[in-house]
Chains A and B, each alone.
Chain A
Amino acid sequence: MANKRFDVTHVPGAATIAIVTFLALYIPVLILVVNAFNGSDTAGRWEGLSLRWFAAALDNAAFRSAAVNSVIVALAAALLSTCLATAVALAVTRGRQIKGQGSIVIIVNQPLLVPEIVFGIALMVVLAQVKQVTGYQGLGYLIAAHTTFCIPFAFLPIRARLAGMDLTLETASMDLYAGRFYTFRRVTLPLLLPGILTGFMLAFVISLDNVVVSSLVKSPGQETLPTYLMGELRRNLTSEIYAISALLLFASISIVAASWVITRTKQ
């Protein structure tokens, strides 16, 4: 603002509280990252920069298998929930209202209405029976659970994108004798892609972060990164925990940064 006139956007104290808030948000995370790079044997005494705890984590077979499980579950759950959510979004945003459309939307958002701990325990109780009957102990349970609570998150951006889309393009394509499937593949899908990508990314991060549901639903001996971290925490707070936390932090930040760059270049 060039002239020094009275500025309505200025509220005394707001900037100070905002800066304090930002510092309070970031300082603990920075301390954690610094601790991860600490070369000392005992957490808390600084002995110079070192990557030894990252090396120790990567050298740890339990950590590696937890990381692999996490990525498999997150990829599968994100892929499945995005496909399912896209289909639902197509069903409830095009054309006129159909019978029961409101109930479809409510059911799709139902996992959001249930507290995580309740969702996890209810599923654990049911899956305990399923595990007994089938004898299957694989990652399938985790993938099913994560897919379920990722559907509403994937649904959100896809539905928003579809709602803002121009229906006449599809009509034009159909008028030019393109089939329903051809129209979907060549017109609807390309236009919808940014929404689908955002939905996928959202679902992936939500799945990667989950600890409560995972720890309840997983089979014995099975770990994802967050459940492994939670288990290690119960034992002791070591520098390796900081290193693993830092790795998870970097993973989240790079995903956010990537999606931020993608959406900004589009504008």
Chain B
Amino acid sequence: MPRNPTAAASESAVARAETRRRWSLALPALTVITLCSILPLGVMVAYSFMEAGQYGNVQWGFSLEGWRAVFLDRDFFDDSYIPATAHLTILARSILLALATTALTFVFGIPTAWFIATRPPATRAYWMFLITVPFWTNLLVRTIAIQEVIRADGTLNRLLLATGLIDEPLQMMFTNGAVLVGMTYVYLPLMVLPVYAAIEKFDFRLAEAAYDLHASRLYCLRRVVLPLMWPGIVAGSILVFIPALGAYVTPRLMGGGRAMMWGNLIDLQFGQGRNWPLGAALSITLTLVVVGAMVWYARRAAKGDATNG
């Protein structure tokens, strides 16, 4: 506590000037983000409560039709409400495919991260380089690459035909499976990187101690290794799940119109669908799910820090 009032006043004046100076440093970036991201999102929220225009766009006037259409359809004959199965199927597929992608990247990603983290330090950097290159490579290009492998006249089919295992090309494209393979392929590095970071920090003497105390391999994995890897696994799952849920490019190329996902459905409403309020309501819903997942993760991470520290 400062003893005389003038010193206190000048001190708080200095503090205020400091606060002002630092806010002004942040201001340009905050302005750009507010104008180009937060404001448009606000417009979307507003649009979701308006009436659909006849040729796309919206008409002024409050309406809940956009939100209603997310969940309910009108029956063609008697105008009664029925569940909007077409949309709900796509939303359910998106969630299931995003979860399945997370699970598959887990199955392949965890052993890979473990493998890299247990290499000698000299070669570890090279393995890490191999995992970061796909991470930095254009997502569209990687989707084209995996599409080339599984499409009807692609590499895999030609290989199988040449070896005589099949007589006719397998139709693998434009299915849920194709989208799943594509998303697992493009999002895998997002699982490996955080899990690797967690394993690398792991003190293997702890595992040795567990074995010395006659823990079985499984027991040690479950009670010693896994809890310490857990933050990395949760981070990796969030990093895969979120972009997978909102994916647009990969389901578009691998799933086409037959295995559409949430992002493609939104795009459709602003294009051929000409139902902007519905598109806006679907956008807001997707954003809320993503933000919800992030908040859940942040809370969890904060709690984890509190218990560990």
Contacts and interface: CB of A to CB of B under 8 A. Distances in A.
B37 A91 contact: no
Interface stretch (B26-34, B63-71, B74-82): B26-34
Interface stretch (A50-58, A60-68, A94-102, A188-196): A94-102
Contact of B138 (A88, A125, A209): A209
User: Contact residue range for chain B?
Assistant: 35 or more
B179 interface: no
Contacts, number: 244
Interface stretch (A103-111, A160-168, A169-177): A103-111
A256 B207 contact: no
Secondary structure type dominating chain B contacts: helix
B158 A44 contact: yes
A13 to B, nearest CB: 7
Interface in B131-173: 131-134, 136-142, 144-146, 148-149, 151, 153, 155, 158
Interface in A71-88: 84-85, 87-88
A148 B133 contact: no
B52 to A, nearest CB: 14
A212 B25 CA distance: 31
A8 B34 contact: no
Nearest to A101: B22
A174 B139 CA distance: 47
Nearest to B220: A8
Nearest to A256: B136
Nearest to B295: A113
Interface string A201-245: 000010011011000000000000010011001000100011001
Between B29, B41, B108, B134, the greatest number of chain A beta carbons within 10 A of the residue's beta carbon is seen for B29
Contacts of B207: 8-9
A108 B43 contact: no
B138 A252 contact: yes
A110 B287 contact: no
Contacts of B134: 25-26, 29
B141 A148 contact: no
Give 10 closest A-B pairs by Cβ, nearest first: A115-B246, A18-B115, A122-B40, A84-B29, A17-B111, A28-B145, A91-B25, A9-B118, A148-B36, A117-B263
Interface of A: 6, 8-11, 13-15, 17-22, 24-29, 31-32, 35, 44, 84-85, 87-88, 90-92, 94-95, 98-100, 104, 107-108, 110-111, 113-119, 121-126, 144-145, 147-149, 151, 205, 208-209, 211-212, 226, 229-230, 233, 237, 241-242, 245, 248-249, 252-253, 255-257, 260, 264
Given A11-B221, A90-B25, A260-B132, 12 more contacts: A32-B141, A84-B29, A85-B29, A95-B18, A107-B38, A115-B286, A116-B263, A122-B41, A230-B140, A245-B138, A260-B129, A264-B125
21 contacts: A10-B118, A25-B131, A25-B188, A31-B145, A31-B155, A87-B25, A90-B22, A99-B19, A104-B30, A107-B30, A113-B287, A118-B286, A119-B37, A121-B44, A122-B43, A125-B44, A144-B32, A148-B37, A211-B249, A245-B144, A264-B125
